[in-house]
């Protein structure tokens, strides 16, 4: 996958989560005049799924938090990160219309 498609995927996923899970999504921005998103977190208890963009590189993390303490921070391949995120959304979809919508949108 080339860097332009990775960056388009980053922006697409960010848009999906801002729309469908706004309270669970935190965007981290940087820049002097134009604040561009460089990473975002999607908090789905007990995990926080983080995607970070640094130049041409995209890094995916899954952070496990118990009682407010991060006990594990895994760097994952993008494909594994998306699969783990989809699995968690699938679990949540039974009780949440927003999770169902997010799950449906990331599968496209």
96-102 contacts, C-beta under 8 A, 24 or more apart: 98/20, 98/21, 99/20, 99/21, 101/20, 102/16, 102/17, 102/20, 102/21
**Residue with the larger pLDDT of the pair 90 and 25:** 25
Region of residue 66 (left: phi > 0; alpha: psi -120 to 50; beta: else): beta
pTM score of the predicted model? 0.82
Region of residue 37 (left: phi > 0; alpha: psi -120 to 50; beta: else): beta
**pLDDT tens, position by position, 32-58:** 787 889 999 999 999 999 999 988 899
**In this predicted structure, which of 32-36, 81-85, 93-97 has the lowest mean pLDDT?**
93-97
pLDDT score of 108: 52
Count up the domains in the chain and report the number.
Answer: 1
Write out the residue range of the structural domain in which residue 56 sits: 3-106
């Amino acid at each position: 996958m080339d860097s332009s498609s990775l960056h388009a995927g980053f922006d697409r996923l960010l848009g999906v989560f801002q729309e469908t899970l706004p309270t669970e999504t935190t965007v981290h921005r940087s820049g002097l005049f134009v604040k561009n998103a460089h990473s975002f977190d999607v908090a789905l208890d007990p995990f926080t799924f983080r995607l970070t963009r640094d130049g041409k590189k995209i890094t995916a993390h899954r952070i496990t938090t118990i009682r407010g303490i991060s006990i594990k921070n895994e760097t994952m391949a993008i494909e594994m990160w998306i699969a783990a995120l989809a699995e968690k959304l699938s679990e949540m979809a039974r009780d949440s219309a927003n999770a169902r919508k997010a799950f449906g949108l990331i599968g496209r």
